[in-house]
Structure 1
Amino acid sequence: MQRTNILSSVYRVRKSRSEVHLSKSCDDIFDKLIQGGVPPEELYDTVCKQGVEIVLTAHPTQINRRTLQYKHLRIAHLLEFNERPDLSHEDREMLIEDLVREITALWQTDELRRHKPTPVDEARAGLHIVEQSLWKAIPRYLRRVSNALKKHTGKPLPLTCTPIKFGSWMGGDRDGNPNVTAKVTRDVSLMSRWMALDLYIRQLDNLSFELSIKKCSEKLASVANEILLKG
């Protein structure tokens, strides 16, 4: 069933690329609002003030083994890569071999959990979704909003603006669950903090490779020195 869902998702993406205006982008919506008489300044202020809070939760029936999640993601990436028109015959053959290898390994992988997941297991699965999807998807979406906003109002989304925020019930949603104790809540909170720190460290590592310049302005050097002294 999961493999069928992956194929269905890839097919929907392929179909959407061939259909014009299947879904409205921020650019389309902002353009219609401006054309409809909404002043650019009002549009800018409204977008900057909007707030959406996404509350994360987890449920035992929604948990897959992490090994399976990585395999499903790998298969989806291979299927997407197979859509590239510039693939050579040899590249496509190697891709098919990789795909067969992943599916064969998946077929031999036990998809069922042999023990009931704990609240910490549930939280770990939820954090995996943050790591694999939301961590990249949300900034990508906000960049699209910022670019569209700049195009139609002349100003991008402020760096201090946070139109999307997150909350979490994971490890803290008691709701009659006797397994969610104070210790579980503390452990999940610490695990969440650890993952947040790990994700930021990875981003900083990537940034250090991107910044190949040797010199910076005196102002930037002064700010960096202040941060080092505070650390």
Structure 2
Amino acid sequence: MNATARRAVAGPVSLLSESERRELFRRLKRANPAPTTELEYRTPFELLVAVILSAQATDRSVNRATAELFRIARTPEAMLALGLRGLKRHIKSIGLYNTKAANILKTSKVLADRYAGEVPRTREELEALPGVGRKTANVILNTAFGESTIAVDTHIFRVANRTGLAPGRHVREVEDRLMQAVPRPYRRHAHHWLILHGRYTCTARVPHCERCVIYDLCRYGDKVKK
């Protein structure tokens, strides 16, 4: 771990004990043994496009847009053939679609020219693609390629801080702490367990504590009494 990473995880990594962390994920696994993304895709390239589109948009809205898009443009080459105007026509219902369309086409060209149309499997190569940052790279590495990465979005950031699992002031700090706090047997699916818990149970305005399977483990001071 380099000096930057050491500073990011200075202090207690988790407010929960090791046994509490194991119990937390044991319960999440029991409630959802095989969690996965709610984005609809068939190939790593389709997932990459969907994740780029999902920034500041719901998975449901992305799925509506890609249902037709992926019928006619399932590869980088087909996406390039569609062109900027054609791509925008399919994704104009999604926020920031102009920027996203430009990045998707730029990324498609890189994939076609450098990687024979395939999505690369390393973080460095993924993050070098237009429109792809650390969070998107983590999603692709985890969901498409089965690596034990965690992409910290607003849901995971909220859950990590509320529960005390991996409190932090910023996204990278929370990610680094989660990678230490999550017991190794649960790291492969931790990303999806936490994001789904934040999306449907530990919601932003009023958490649904009455149906929370980790209620007694949670350190959130304002949790609703059962």
TM-score clears 0.5:
no
TM-score normalized by the length of structure 1 = 0.24
Q: Which has the larger radius of gyration?
A: 1
Q: Which has the higher contact order (CA 8 A, sep 6+)?
A: 1
TM-score normalized by the length of structure 2 = 0.24
Higher fraction of helix: 1
